[in-house]
Amino acid sequence: MNTHELIQTLREPATTKIVLLVADGLGGLPVEKGGKTELETANTPNFDALVKDGVCGLSTPVLPGITPGSGPGHLSLFGYDPLEYRIGRGILEALGINFAVGPKDVCIRGNFCTLGADGKITDRRAGRPSNEKNAAAVARLRTIQIPGVELFVEPVREHRFVLVIRGDGLGDAVNDTDPQQVGVAPLKAEGADPASAKTAAVVNEFIAKAVEVLAPEAPTNGATLRGFARMPNIATFEQVYGLKAAAIAVYPMYKGLARLVGMDILDPGQTLQGQVDTLKSVWDKYDFFFLHYKYTDSTGEDGNFPAKVEMIEKLDKVVPQIRALNPDVFIVTGDHSTPSRMKSHSWHPVPTVLAADATCRPDDVATFGERDCLRGGLGQFQGAHLMLLAMAHAGRLGKYGA
Amino acid sequence: MNTHELIQTLREPATTKIVLLVADGLGGLPVEKGGKTELETANTPNFDALVKDGVCGLSTPVLPGITPGSGPGHLSLFGYDPLEYRIGRGILEALGINFAVGPKDVCIRGNFCTLGADGKITDRRAGRPSNEKNAAAVARLRTIQIPGVELFVEPVREHRFVLVIRGDGLGDAVNDTDPQQVGVAPLKAEGADPASAKTAAVVNEFIAKAVEVLAPEAPTNGATLRGFARMPNIATFEQVYGLKAAAIAVYPMYKGLARLVGMDILDPGQTLQGQVDTLKSVWDKYDFFFLHYKYTDSTGEDGNFPAKVEMIEKLDKVVPQIRALNPDVFIVTGDHSTPSRMKSHSWHPVPTVLAADATCRPDDVATFGERDCLRGGLGQFQGAHLMLLAMAHAGRLGKYGA
């Protein structure tokens, strides 16, 4: 019996509410030997209060040493084994812009690029065009027609767009056409199987026509494609947990990840306070709330230690508003670590606190930090098991076996 | 290679002895914020001495967040993955009363109930009849005959009995007939496949006749059946570990669980001292001794914190008698937690100490409690791995690979 079947067997109806606050890339590293991490440096009285009431630990999203992308990191938090459920980048991009992906669709992430007269790439991001410029280029791509398939081209932002190819018998085992360097031409698409070869043929025709129609838009005069992906067959959050779930995220990628598991996607605007206000306004309508906070990751990616500290402190300040709603289970964690020292995602386990009213066994942890969590009662745990704990502490799981 | 195959490959002959003392439902929670658990509250000088000599940790019987029943909890302690080996309630009940279950048997837990004139249940436990009344009702059920099968009806205690149907081609995918509420009639049995439909037909006939023969025993005038189960195909303890094992338990359920894995079931009477005396008397005859102590669980289920503390202290007092036998490996643990605060089994990890003469790497733990075990050398571990450690510390496992 796998974990989802186990949950489906054991789950019990309840009216309890669970909040999962994901501080993207939360875990960090000290910049200097003997120093503190970003989280340890931050002044977080509200997280610390949560830690005193709850139980802490460190989450390993995939496996020790494995650095997760946003997709696997979130699937793990949602309780889907990221080694079993593999989600292509194209799907994430499409879901993130609210595109209604269907079963005949192959979704692809597109990047506008600049091509020289010789057809070689001179700028992989076409000088990061404005969103208006992006829209103009997308409008030209939308004039392209290819017999036998429907094409959808959708703007994302700057140099990014989404291409969806809809048709019968299309595979997604197609290589990226982005060569990941300048001075060379985009790669030809090739399919690893007959269905994917059909997709590749469409793609190569699309790209050839794109170069024609985009010529007037130079330097936005070319396009590369990557992350070919069809919709995976995945049980929804409600099917697995019996939880009516809302996603309150600002960035498209995280909306897309939440939509993938069937959460309702709410529109909180662009601010953290907007997210909290949205949470309050829908509190009675859902059982589970996924709040995503991006800036702990983006500051980490920028290598900006003090900015990451500041973003953690900013997040800490909204915690009392969330606790005032009296969630039965309140979890704060991240989808992976993003140490500003490394300017990238990393494999380091992620500090996690779970607070529930009466069912947390006390540990001796009193502040929220990596070293603190190491001594916490949750120990070091597999990220995909966090939802089991959430369900248990929410009184939503019955006993296994007599 | 699965774990059992691994053990069978690596195990080596030895004369060492292992004692597994299971304090049922050992783990707990504080009643008040900032308070201590039952085990932390108890005065346990002998457990503490064991802890100083041994290594501690916290066991997760199934998965984080999963609350085990007694069956899965014990299978895990015996080293059988409780998600792989699933044991029906009927089997446990039958084994627990020393019924010699065979390959053609379907075992079923029966409850006497009280039926009103309209055939609806007015008391699901028939007023908890005396054991004498139970025996009288069972004697009447034994008069029932159904062509093509053999029937065995055995008393358990109060309102409980066991029904075993022996015959060719009987399945066990049959619904419980206990509707779990009063004011409604018992449910009809239905089989989910042809073999189980055959069982269901027998059951419905049995129940119809039971109502006739039980009429004079009112209010013990009806019966419900649940936990239909055939004997699982399971390798014995001796086959897996090469250990000759004895179970020294008072309660039927735990005798049944031990018999399931092929342990010899001894009869220690009803007292803890009787169990210890039995242990001493058979010390030379076995390699492995499973001692089961029920009262840490039953007091927890009653929500009686001080009584659970007292039962822990009572158990602590017999530890010197066990240590005087010089077991090579002495483990004290539980099959799950039963916090008196929750009045039920729970998912919280279980405090565990393993003491062996020369092979325990010291940790800094000096007392036996949940928070102490969190700092122990065994860390938080999967329950089914405990037997691997027992075998290793007993010098019974060779090296894996050259």
How far apart CA A249 and CA A139 sit, in angstroms, is: 28
Residue A197: which of A106, A303, A74, A67 has the closest Cα?
A106
DSSP string across A242-308: ---EEEE-SSHHHHHHHHHTT-EE---TTSHHHHHHHHHHTGGG-SEEEEEE-HHHHHHHTT-HHHH
Asked if B347 and A397 come within 8 Å (Cβ–Cβ), the reply is yes
Pairwise CA distance, residues B141 & B136, whole Å: 9
According to the model, what pLDDT value does residue B284 have?
98
pLDDT digit string, tens, across residues B224-257: 999 999 988 899 999 999 999 999 999 888 998 9
Closest CA to A294 of A320, A312, A276: A312
Task: Report yes or no: B92 at the A interface, CB cutoff 8 Å.
Answer: yes
A385: nearest CA in chain B?
Answer: B64
- Residues in A closer than 8 angstroms to B342, CB to CB, are 358-359
Average pLDDT (A367-374) is: 98
Query: Is B129 in the A-facing interface, judged by CB distances under 8 Å?
Result: no
Residue whose C-alpha is closest to residue B58's, from B341, B390, B343, B337: B337
pLDDT of residue A100: 81
The CATH number of A3-86+235-393 is: 3.40.720.10
Bridge partners of residue B290, in order along the sequence = B20, B247
Percentage with pLDDT > 70 across chain A: 100
Is A179 in contact with A185 (CB distance < 8 Å)?
A: yes
Q: Is the dihedral of CA B50, B51, B57, B59 positive or negative?
A: positive
Domain locations in chain B as residue ranges:
3-87+234-393, 92-230
- CATH class of the domain whose range is B3-87+234-393: alpha beta
pLDDT, average across residues A5-19: 97
Give me the numbers of helices (H) and strands (E) for chain A, helices first please.
14, 14
Average of per-residue pLDDT across A22-49: 97
What is the rounded end-to-end Cα distance, in angstroms, of chain B? 17
Name the residue of chain A whose CA is nearest to B348's CA.
Answer: A361
Does A139 have pLDDT greater than 90? yes
Interchain contact B34–A (C-beta under 8 A): yes
ipTM over 0.85: yes
Whether A363 sits inside 8 A of B374 (CB atoms) is yes
* Residue recorded with tokens 């979130």: A74
Q: Angle A345-A350-A353 (CA atoms, 0-180°, nearest 5)?
A: 145
Average confidence score pLDDT of chain A: 96
- Residue A56's nearest CA partner among B354, B152, B328, B371 is B371
Q: Residue A77: enclosing H or E segment and its boundaries?
A: helix A70-77
Which contacts (CB < 8 Å, 24+ apart) does range B239-243 have? B239/B8, B240/B4, B240/B7, B240/B8, B240/B79, B241/B7, B241/B11, B241/B79, B241/B288, B241/B387, B241/B391, B241/B396, B242/B11, B242/B13, B242/B396, B243/B18, B243/B287, B243/B288, B243/B396
- Residues A209-246 have pLDDT tens digits of 999 999 999 999 999 999 999 988 899 999 999 999 99
- The shortest CB-CB distance from B83 to any of A1, A385, A402 is to A1
Distances (CA, A) of B322 to A180, B315, B385: 68, 11, 23
Please tell me the predicted confidence (pLDDT) of residue B362.
92
User: pLDDT-derived band of residue A201, with 50, 70 and 90 as boundaries?
Assistant: very high
Nearest residue on chain A to B38, alpha-carbon basis: A361
CA gyration radius, chain B = 22
Select from B4, B1, B8, B29 the least CA-distant residue to B348: B29
What pLDDT is stored for residue B98 in this prediction? 79
Q: CB within 8 A of A360, min separation 6: which ones?
A: A53, A54, A55, A354, A377, A393
B83 CB burial (10 A radius; 0-12, 13-18, 19+): buried
CB contact under 8 A, A398 and B67: yes
A166 SS3 class: strand
Distance from CA of A10 to the nearest CA of B (A): 9
Measured between CB atoms, does A399 come within 8 Å of chain B? yes
pLDDT value, residue B402: 83
Q: Find the closest chain A residue to B342 by CA distance.
A: A359
Name the DSSP class of B383: G
Interface test with B, best of A2, A3, A389, A400 (most B CBs within 10 A): A400
**Tell me, what's the pLDDT at B167?**
97
Q: What is the CA radius of gyration of chain A?
A: 22
Query: What is the pairing mode between strands A288-293 and A18-23?
Result: parallel
Residue given tokens 């070869």 in the structure block: A197
B371·A385 Cβ contact <8 A: no
Please report the pLDDT score of residue A93 as a whole number: 87
Beta strand spans in A5-81 (E): 18-23, 55-60
Residue A253: pLDDT above 90?
Answer: no
pLDDT over 90 (residue A152): yes
CA distances for A56 relative to A289, A366, A377, B157, B236, angstroms: 20, 10, 6, 44, 39
Decide: helix, strand or coil at residue B137. Answer: helix
Of B66, B341, B374, the CB nearest to A388: B66
A247: phi then psi, degrees, rounded to nearest 5: -105, 130
Q: How far away is chain B from the Cα of A292, in angstroms, using its nearest Cα?
A: 24
Q: Which of B30, B58, B92 sits opposite A402 (nearest CB)?
A: B92
Using DSSP's 3-state secondary structure scheme, residue A139 falls into helix
Contact A30/A350 with Cβ under 8 angstroms? no
Q: Label residue A124 by pLDDT band (50, 70, 90).
A: very high
Average pLDDT over residues A102-122: 95
Contact A359 B346 (CB under 8 A): yes
| Rounded distance between C-alpha atoms, residue A206 and residue A193, angstroms | 20
pLDDT-derived band at A163, boundaries 50, 70, 90:
very high
Nearest to B67 among A362, A385, A397 (CB): A397
Q: What is the mean pLDDT of residues A82-90?
A: 90
How far apart, in whole angstroms, are the C-alpha atoms of residue B155 and residue B164?
Answer: 12
Q: Which residues of chain B have pLDDT under 50?
A: none
**Confidence (pLDDT) at B329:** 98
> What's the CA gap between B69 and A398, in Å, rounded?
10
The pLDDT, as a whole number, for residue B256 is: 86
Share of chain A above pLDDT 90, in %: 91
Judge: B87–A1 Cβ closer than 8 Å, yes or no. Answer: no
pLDDT of residue B100: 81
Q: Which residue from B minimizes the CA distance to A383?
A: B64
Nearest CA in chain B to A376: B374
Residue A66 DSSP one-character state: P
Per-residue pLDDT, A103 = 86
